[in-house]
């Protein structure tokens, strides 16, 4: 495991040593994919600025993941050009502009591995490329002049599948970035817990998260979910109330940070009251740890998801939320009322990373288990995958109403549900790096090291 000093979290030395092998591996697998799919070279666009309708402003920029795997740059209209056997080239967009500050030509731990060409505009980028791009595959959105560039294929599906399939396997460099993203995110979570305990509103908690992980919202891998009380029952809650509710019973915060283009995705649930909801958080934490203990190379992720439902059925029974045994709970589908999302997903350059269903680059997709439409990962785990483990248990009004209306309602102890519904729900989410014998819990490791550093 590479040593990583993150106090303060910084672009530390080990990255320089890890980036070269990462890039060498990326070049090799890209060359193999290009050959298998009949392309001679690859051209990847970082992305275009998206204008706001009827204004001359743009939305915050986010580089495309197929570009970010090459370079942590977050600058629009840059290109990576890769011809197997040659040093990759970065065409760096460097316009003359007095309205906006233009990013300086990059000089960082990764730049020595590229031939970098400064391009004031797209025409200069085209001029810096070979005249004939007829055998080059392009990855990215269309832009105005792309049709005249003469690229042989735009976003060819087969090549993209080959590249996405291998993205699931993280290099030591990528794991180092993911560790740092976890440490940054954990600093945010620790601050969020403090502000919750001090009586802060959702808005106050979100600002504390940002300040502590040292990022503005547009730098995060996804918009934080900061939900007090019943709001925790909304899976992707985005409101951020400015007023503290009275009483403020519980906090569910799902928020991560980004480092080098790589995301952390972390959820914690807290309550201010001792009692049944606190006990339920304790049970869900133990359940989550039991699931983490099952993770190792060779495990079918669909089985982990189904096992999560089995364990949730036990928790529902022990907490007296249902009146039936585990087998009847599973057969009836009542666990889906309380846990309606997938148990986890691939994590990396995207928070829900690409390639979660692929049997093989050309091998079709692996179906989800029947009746589990929201599972985002069906592959068998390999050493080097990074996944989230995120069991939950929620009191979601429309799902409870649907259960009441069908046969499942008779299995539910409604007075218990009514007592716990004001707390919203629970989710506990960690990021796991899969190994041959188990996994490294990047999130719990970060909580330990950040607590020790305080």
Cβ proximity to ligand GLY, 390 vs 450, nearer residue:
390
Of the candidates 358, 369, 399, 374, the residue with the CA atom closest to the CA atom of residue 306: 369
Cβ proximity to Mn ion, 151 vs 396, nearer residue:
396
Cβ proximity to ligand GLY, 61 vs 222, nearer residue:
222
Interaction with Mn ion in 377-396: which residues (CB under 5 A)?
388
Structure tokens at 276: 């049944």
In the list ligand GLY, Mn ion, none, the entry touching 62 (Cβ below 5 to 8 angstroms by class) is: none
Provide the minimum distance between the beta carbon of 255 and Mn ion in the complex, in angstroms, as a whole number. Answer: 8
- Note the helical H segments in 101-218: 122-128, 157-167, 172-197, 202-213
State which of residues 61, 222, 270, 357 lies at the interface with ligand GLY (CB under 6 A).
222
Rounded Cα gap, residues 416 and 17, in angstroms? 55
**What are the phi and psi torsion angles at 300 (to 5°)?**
-80, 120
Cβ proximity to Mn ion, 42 vs 351, nearer residue:
351
Cβ proximity to Mn ion, 153 vs 287, nearer residue:
287
Residue 122 near residue 103, CB atoms below 8 Å: no
Provide the minimum distance between the beta carbon of 215 and Mn ion in the complex, in angstroms, as a whole number. Answer: 16
Structure tokens at 338: 């309380």
Interaction with Mn ion in 228-257: which residues (CB under 5 A)?
254
Site map 348..367 versus ligand GLY, x via CB under 6 A: ---x----------------
State which of residues 164, 350, 390, 450 lies at the interface with ligand GLY (CB under 6 A).
390
State which of residues 204, 258, 353, 429 lies at the interface with ligand GLY (CB under 6 A).
429
In the list ligand GLY, Mn ion, none, the entry touching 164 (Cβ below 5 to 8 angstroms by class) is: none
Report if residue 254 touches ligand GLY, rule: CB under 6 A.
Answer: yes
Of the candidates 395, 313, 286, 385, the residue with the CA atom closest to the CA atom of residue 344: 385
Stretch that binds Mn ion, among 110-118, 263-271, 275-283, 304-312 (CB under 5 A): 263-271
Residue 300 near residue 380, CB atoms below 8 Å: yes
Rounded Cα gap, residues 128 and 187, in angstroms? 43
In the list ligand GLY, Mn ion, none, the entry touching 222 (Cβ below 5 to 8 angstroms by class) is: ligand GLY
**DSSP secondary-structure letter at 230?**
G
Residue 225 near residue 141, CB atoms below 8 Å: no
Cβ proximity to ligand GLY, 161 vs 376, nearer residue:
376
Q: Cβ–Cβ contacts within 10 Å for residue 421, how many?
A: 18
Sign of the CA dihedral 290, 226, 434, 168? positive
Of the candidates 237, 297, 289, the residue with the CA atom closest to the CA atom of residue 436: 297
In the list ligand GLY, Mn ion, none, the entry touching 381 (Cβ below 5 to 8 angstroms by class) is: none
Cβ proximity to ligand GLY, 233 vs 351, nearer residue:
351
Binding residue count for ligand GLY, defined by CB under 6 A: 6
Residue 195 near residue 188, CB atoms below 8 Å: no
Cβ proximity to Mn ion, 125 vs 387, nearer residue:
387
In sequence order, what DSSP letters do the residues of 344-374 get, joined into one string?
--B-SSSSS-S-TTBSSTTS-BPPPPTT-TT
Q: Which residues contact 362 (CB under 8 A, 6 or more apart)?
A: 158, 161, 162
Provide the minimum distance between the beta carbon of 205 and ligand GLY in the complex, in angstroms, as a whole number. Answer: 16
Provide the minimum distance between the beta carbon of 428 and ligand GLY in the complex, in angstroms, as a whole number. Answer: 11
Structure tokens at 93: 């967009």
Q: By CB under 6 A, name the binding residues for ligand GLY.
A: 222, 254, 265, 351, 390, 429
Q: By CB under 5 A, name the binding residues for Mn ion.
A: 254, 265, 267, 388, 429
């Amino acid at each position: 495991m590479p040593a990583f000093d993150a106090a303060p979290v910084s672009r530390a030395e080990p990255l320089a040593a890890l980036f070269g092998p990462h890039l060498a591996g990326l070049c090799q697998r890209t060359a193999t994919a290009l050959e298998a799919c009949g392309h001679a070279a690859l051209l990847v666009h970082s992305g275009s600025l998206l204008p706001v309708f009827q204004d001359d402003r743009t939305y915050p920029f986010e580089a495309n993941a197929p570009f970010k795997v090459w370079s942590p740059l977050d600058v629009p209209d840059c290109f990576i050009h890769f011809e197997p056997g040659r040093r990759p080239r970065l065409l760096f967009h460097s316009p003359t502009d007095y309205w906006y500050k233009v990013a300086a030509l990059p000089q960082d731990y990764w730049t020595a591995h590229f031939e970098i060409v400064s391009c004031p505009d797209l025409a200069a980028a085209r001029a810096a490329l070979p005249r004939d791009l007829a055998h080059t595959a392009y990855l990215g959105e269309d832009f105005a002049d792309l049709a005249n560039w003469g690229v042989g294929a735009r976003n060819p599906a087969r090549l993209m599948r080959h590249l996405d399939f291998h993205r699931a396997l993280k290099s030591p460099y990528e794991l180092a970035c993911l560790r740092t993203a976890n440490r940054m995110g954990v600093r945010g979570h620790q601050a969020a817990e403090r502000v919750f305990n001090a009586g802060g509103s959702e808005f106050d908690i979100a600002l504390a998260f940002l300040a502590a992980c040292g990022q503005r919202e547009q730098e995060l891998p996804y918009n934080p979910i900061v939900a007090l009380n019943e709001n925790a029952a909304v899976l992707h809650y985005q409101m951020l109330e400015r007023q503290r509710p009275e009483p403020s019973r519980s906090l569910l915060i799902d928020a991560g940070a980004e480092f080098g283009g790589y995301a952390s995705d972390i959820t914690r649930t807290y309550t201010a009251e001792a009692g049944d909801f606190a006990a339920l958080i304790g049970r869900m934490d133990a359940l989550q740890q039991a699931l983490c203990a099952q993770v190792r190379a060779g495990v079918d992720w669909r089985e982990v998801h189904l096992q999560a439902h089995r364990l949730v059925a036990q928790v529902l029974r022990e907490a007296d939320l249902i009146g039936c045994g585990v087998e009847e709970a599973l057969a009836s589908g009542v666990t889906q009322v309380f846990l309606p999302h997938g148990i986890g997903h691939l994590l990396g350059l995207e928070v829900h990373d690409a390639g979660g269903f692929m049997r093989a680059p050309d091998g079709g997709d692996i179906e989800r288990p029947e009746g589990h439409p929201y599972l985002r990962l069906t592959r068998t785990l390999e050493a080097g995958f990074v996944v989230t483990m995120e069991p939950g248990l929620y009191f979601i009004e429309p799902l409870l109403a649907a259960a009441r209306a069908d046969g499942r309602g008779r299995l539910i102890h409604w007075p218990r549900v009514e007592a716990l519904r004001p707390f919203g729900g629970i989710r506990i989410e960690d990021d796991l790096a899969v190994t041959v014998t188990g996994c490294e819990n990047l999130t719990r490791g970060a909580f330990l090291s950040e607590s020790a550093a305080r």
